[in-house]
Amino acid sequence: MTLIDAHWMAVARGDEPADLVLAGGKVLSVFTKEWLDVDVAIKDGHVVGLGRYEGGRERRDVSGAFLVPGFIDAHMHIESSKLMVDEFARAVLAHGTTAVVADPHEIANVLGTDGIHWLLDCCTDLPLDVYVMASSCVPASRFESPRRPFTTGDIESLLRRHRTIGIAEMMNFPGVIAGDESEVAKLTTGLTDHVDGHAPGVRGSALNAYIAAGIRSDHEATTAEEALEKRRLGMWVMLREASIARNLRDLLPVVKQYGSDYCMFCTDDREPGFIVEEGHINQMVRVAVAEGISPEDAVVMATINSATYHRLWHLGAIAPGYQADILVLDDLRSFTPREVLKRGAPPHFVKLTVPEWVRQTVYLAPVTASSFHIPAGPRQIRVIGVVPGQLLTRSVVAEPSVRDGSIVADPARDLVKIAVLERHHASGRAGLGFATNIGLQRGAFASTVAHDAHNVVVLGVDDADMAACACRLAEIGGGIVVAEGGHVIEELPLPVAGLMSDQPLAQVHERLSSMERRLAGMGASIAAPFMTLSFLALSVIPELKITDRGLVDVARFELVPLGIE
């Protein structure tokens, strides 16, 4: 028995004083869903006792308050916040998120395993616990072009790192279901049997095959029926509430009818505006309660369920031996913490520096307006149909608009041009196509945030504006830009791997909000336009997507031409 264990037990018995006693509050037992009228004794950053504790080096009266464990995000991508990890920690801890399980496949596509190792090193001294799942699909599919593809050896090297707790979302679900040898090898390293899933719309025998591969969770369900089928087969269901995939309300009927077991909360991809205006995991707890879920069940899904699924045995509860990550709440409606304790104390924040090799990541071949030229010819074309509030798209067939021998955007028909330009090796490779349900009437916008390979994705009405966007992104080392009249009119630099800002949340939010207002003035009608744009390049979510290699029919899992003869 170590000395620290002896002290913990001595405090628990009442023989030694606690470092801190929280007295007078109502403490949630996540194991029985009861509210306990007990004091909480804390020693060395851990809860060591619940009961009556008169002593304590510090005693804090929390009478009338509700004490719950810190919230845990079961699956997310830090890079989608557009914030460096230190600023992300500062942002979400204020809302009560004390731990996250991150898939760093965004930075992995840009900087390889070096990027993940750097990100893990950055997390060492943060007040936020960041656990990592080893990215399984870099690239997400063979149709995408990252800096370099991950091998099974790369995944194994990450699994040997402290705080890497399993294998991240297995996005190549067609490969897994088909028993593809290279995909199965990622699941059979012998280093872990903990694997997250990614199975949008997968049902029936295909779902059985996917689960039989050892995959035990999914965050892609968009209907209660889909979530229930997955849960019935033993999958843990991650109820997602992301910026453009707000699935929470649609999935809550499964919780209402069958309880909170095997259910947990995740944000997946949440932009700064969502965090500022509505919160983080606490927003999901608040919405669940407003929709008729009991506060106790909602908190359980935000805490102990995530910890149990991810085998983080020291997190998720206020009980002896658990880390003292505690939220002090004034009510069970807003779930806005009065106080957040991380390891028994207020969070202490650090400011990180970013090395130059993480900043220099955009290598784009020369781009001009002619780079976006599409010759006339086909009688009909495939068009990406954006579905509001979803990552899913539709495959739409339309007659092309032709001018001077070229197929062009036609804002009167809500038909805009989209392109993905390879940016890791300056190859000049580009995929060209069209999208609808965007609303844009003039100009263009572009981003180096383009899931998951993060090449340059550009959407616009005018080829010259599209070229201006791409050229400016190369100049600033990545980010998000808006162009009109042949030049860039607003921009958000994201110099950290072309994915993240080195500025605080408030500044990033202000800039993004201004750019969204600008786009609305240019006719764009979609919510979260930059996040929506970024996911049009993800080749593993149905139906039609685009990469630097061309249009991808996700259902058939193959490249398809723009024209239909």
| Amino acid residing at 209 | A
Is the predicted pLDDT of residue 3 greater than 70, yes or no? Answer: no
Output the average pLDDT for the chain: 96
Q: Are strands 217-218 and 236-240 parallel, antiparallel or unpaired?
A: parallel
User: Rounded mean pLDDT of 537-553?
Assistant: 96
Residue 293 has pLDDT above 90, yes or no: yes
pLDDT for 139 beyond 80: yes
* Domain ranges for the chain: 70-313, 357-564
> What residue has token string 């616990």?
129
* Mean pLDDT for the stretch of residues 160-168: 95
Buried b (16+ CB within 10 A) or exposed e, 171-194: bbbbbbbeeeeebeebbeeebbeb
Give mean pLDDT, residues 526-534.
93
Return the pLDDT at 236: 98
pLDDT at 13: 94
Tokens coding 520: 């609305």
pLDDT of residue 351 exceeding 70:
yes
Question: What pLDDT, on a 0 to 100 scale, did the predictor assign at position 2?
Answer: 45
Tokens read off for 155: 């995944």
Confidence band of 129 (pLDDT split at 50, 70, 90): very high
Average pLDDT over residues 268-283: 96
CA neighbor of 79 nearest in space, from 387, 417, 478: 478
Q: How confident is the model at residue 457 (pLDDT cuts 50, 70, 90)?
A: very high
Rg (C-alpha) for the chain, rounded Å, is 24
Q: 327 pairs with which residues across the strands?
A: 68, 340
- Calculate mean pLDDT across residues 165-181: 94
pTM exceeds 0.85: yes
Tokens encoding 345:
């104390």
Q: Kindly tell me the number of DSSP H helices and DSSP E strands found in the chain.
A: 17, 31
* 550-553 vs 236-240, strand pairing mode: unpaired
pLDDT at 532 over 80: yes
So what's the pLDDT on residue 4? 63
Q: Mean pLDDT throughout 410-439? A: 98
CB within 8 Å of 451: residues ≥ 6 apart: 106, 140, 269, 534, 535, 537, 538
Calculate the CA 275 to chain-centre distance.
Answer: 12
Q: pLDDT tier at 1 (50, 70, 90 boundaries)?
A: very low
Is residue 200's pLDDT more than 60? yes
- Section 1-6 average pLDDT: 61
Query: What number is the average pLDDT over the span 98-103?
Result: 98
CATH topology of domain 70-313: TIM Barrel (3.20.20)
Instruction: Please report the pLDDT score of residue 12 as a whole number.
Output: 95
Question: What is the reported pLDDT for 390?
Answer: 87
Q: Does residue 317 have a pLDDT over 70? A: yes
pLDDT tens profile 45-80: 999 999 999 888 999 999 999 999 999 999 999 999
